[in-house]
Chains A and B, each alone.
Chain A
């Protein structure tokens, strides 16, 4: 009796609670794609950080004037028509009609020009454009123009640039805000709207279909063509633990993992209920500090390069043979339009004898070499250990200093001597769009006077890069590209350590995964 008196109200209370908090019926549920991004979104301003996750976020909420198709060719996106003068110094662009920002205001030329002026101050192609005398002006609400003092071969490539920094278009009042801190307001004309009220940093980022988005009529192709979404809602679920994310995919709680950790690639490739594919190619590279001895001497850098076995590096990172390149002979990503083997001949196999001879000629006297070893980024940790072992085998007095990635990023910005908090070497990686040309490549694209950690400077590279940018004839561009790489193999602004691809995984029920290209362009996906 007592038990019955106790249990009955509890059951009733639970049932009422269940009814009170009952979820909406299935029929009301929007079509939602749940994806685990490779990192958490922290910064909302794509012109403030080079972080890929912020760029990927921006591709959902902003649009660009041009965009790369799956062949890596720039195609019009927000632009309807464009025209270039015979002397190639004046470019006129007209916007597509009907473009609107997510706040309902029309996209006008003054928004575009303000956004491009902001982009020009940050991006290396934008800066090169400025050095060529590039100036953006409003003609009317739909028309704007670029005037140059000299021809510039990369106008469309720059406007369609995929990474660091893409030329996203935002309202003039946001683009004109001072650049000291990241923008906190998000108003774009892209296919999705950012749901700030549902954003829980470290847990969830939510996007909803932008009802004001005006897609192109061409089908989606790479980042170009129609970006009309097939789903109503996208949820980025932040899962910091790899085991949990794979379990969630297998348990059908999420639809996609953007970057499958190396250890799980083979497991998921064998799972029939899951589809896997490669999203983009990556290069892992070694940076040697050229502001300090011994690597201020190019012979010491060449010596290290002669010790590197790329196959060992990418194998240690845990990537299966099928998605890594055992040896890549170009600085510009094997398989990309700018891939060339010029200058690579003597580096195909490690050559310890030659390496030791070069090191001796560099005047190295056994000084301590500080190498930053990130402990919390597994693949960089592995690559650093392998590169470090090669440097030890060369005879360098290596001091591998373990630290978290955050500390390493702060430390590498210091130019001090190694005994005063400085450093000599670190390993990092970049996606193909930050590697694949003499201007896109972060290290090879940096002119003398740059302030990239490592501070490379080679006047001949600067000259060849400038000529390559200005050249418009394909044969001449190829000749200059080869000459550029030959010089890079001599002075090593950085040393490529290997190439691999990132692998994504989707549920079997997710459609169009074969259309994913370069970054999570999830507007192509359907379920």
Chain B
């Protein structure tokens, strides 16, 4: 086994303790928090007897350690359990939400990278100039204005007034590429504004640092034109940028609650919030576990990309 492969295997094995810690922490936190799924299930006019019977039927009266052992046992066999409310397997619920979430994460990332990196490089190249200031004003604004406010303004302008895009909902790719992209345009642009702002600032700062390096000065002195110089600079500034992009993807795969709520996108974020509001323990546990594992794997992928940008990096 090569050194790199050994590193990958080691990192993958490191997922196990992370998942175990997350599993225990999540289980304890949600079971010790106030609230009772049985009371919610039974409805507003249920009697305390109805609720007590339901708690018994759901196994919620069992000691906490026993509930954990039962859940962990099923988890060990790859069974994330079943929603207390909808009686639907947690894996099905996650699978139903994966399409919108992955679509949003990838499109938003793509849009952010396409816009933010050239903007950041341009701002760094023209540091202190008009373009730099304009880019920085945009970045501060995009980062500061609340996502929900921009979302509502988008809906008002582009959906209600202009009817260019739908105000709500996600249309799956299987219903056509155009409906799919139309349903994602407003939420992705809305969400991308924040990531563009973040990534632009990150790119500007790192490229600016690199542009002050001796080898860049030498390259310029030797008469190299702007584009090759910036190409070299960007490649050397790529690691923090790649890290930011990767963390952004991981966060978005965990669900973007505000955007999903404003645009009624049935993603992972809304699934988590909904489950928390209803104390649907198996769903909360399942989604958070998957999210934690995804986060670890994406971090691993980011680490592995470092070697592409800087050949000196070996594992």
Contact = CB atoms under 8 A, between A and B. Distances in A.
Contacts of A8: none
A357 to B, nearest CB: 34
A403 B35 CA distance: 9
Given A40-B274, A43-B41, A407-B35, A241 B262 contact: yes
A18 interface: yes
Interface string B42-82: 11111111110110111000000000000000000000000
Given A410-B36, A413-B48, A247 B156 contact: yes
A201 B278 contact: no
A450 B47 CA distance: 7
Contacts of B47: 450-452
Interface stretch (B21-29, B172-180, B244-252): B172-180
Contact of B163 (A203, A244, A251, A430): A251
A184 B51 CA distance: 19
Interface in A132-156: none
Contacts of A376: 277
A49 B264 contact: no
A269 interface: no
In the complex, which range does the number of interface residues on chain A fall in? 35 or more
A204 B152 CA distance: 22
Contacts of B152: 243
A237 B83 contact: no
A21 B175 contact: yes
Contacts of B35: 404, 406-407, 409-410
A237 B169 contact: yes
A331 B150 CA distance: 46
Contact of A201 (B54, B93, B179, B264): B93
Contact of A184 (B45, B56, B87, B160): B87
Contact of B168 (A21, A182, A244, A403): A244
Interface residues of B, number: 61
Nearest to A415: B48
The B interface, classified by DSSP as helix, strand, loop or mixed, is helix
A401 to B, nearest CB: 11
A244 B263 contact: yes
Given A404-B277, A451-B47, A240 B261 contact: yes
Interface string A146-174: 00000000000000000010000000000
A20 B173 CA distance: 10
A251 B43 contact: no
Contact of B176 (A21, A204, A239, A250): A21
B227 to A, nearest CB: 15
Nearest to A41: B86
B29 to A, nearest CB: 14
A217 B166 CA distance: 40
Given A201-B88, A247-B159, A247-B160, A411 B45 contact: no
Given A40-B274, A43-B41, A451 B93 contact: no
Question: Which of A42, A49, A202 has the most chain B CB within a 10 Å cutoff?
Answer: A202
Contact of A203 (B48, B87, B179, B266): B266
A202 B270 contact: yes
Contacts of B93: 201
B53 A180 contact: yes
Nearest to B42: A49
A244 B58 CA distance: 35
A255 to B, nearest CB: 14
Nearest to B179: A23
Contacts of A251: 159-160, 163, 166-167
A50 B42 contact: yes
A522 B285 CA distance: 37
Given A181-B57, A202-B270, A430 B168 contact: no
B168 A245 contact: yes
A261 interface: no
A410 B34 contact: yes
Given A202-B274, A247-B155, A430-B44, A253 B166 contact: yes
B178 A18 contact: yes
A354 interface: no
Interface string A392-416: 0000000000011011011101010
Given A247-B160, A410-B39, 4 more contacts: A54-B43, A164-B43, A201-B85, A237-B169
23 contacts: A21-B176, A42-B86, A50-B43, A184-B87, A201-B96, A202-B274, A203-B270, A204-B266, A238-B266, A240-B264, A247-B168, A248-B264, A406-B35, A406-B277, A409-B35, A409-B44, A410-B36, A413-B39, A430-B45, A442-B45, A451-B48, A451-B49, A452-B45
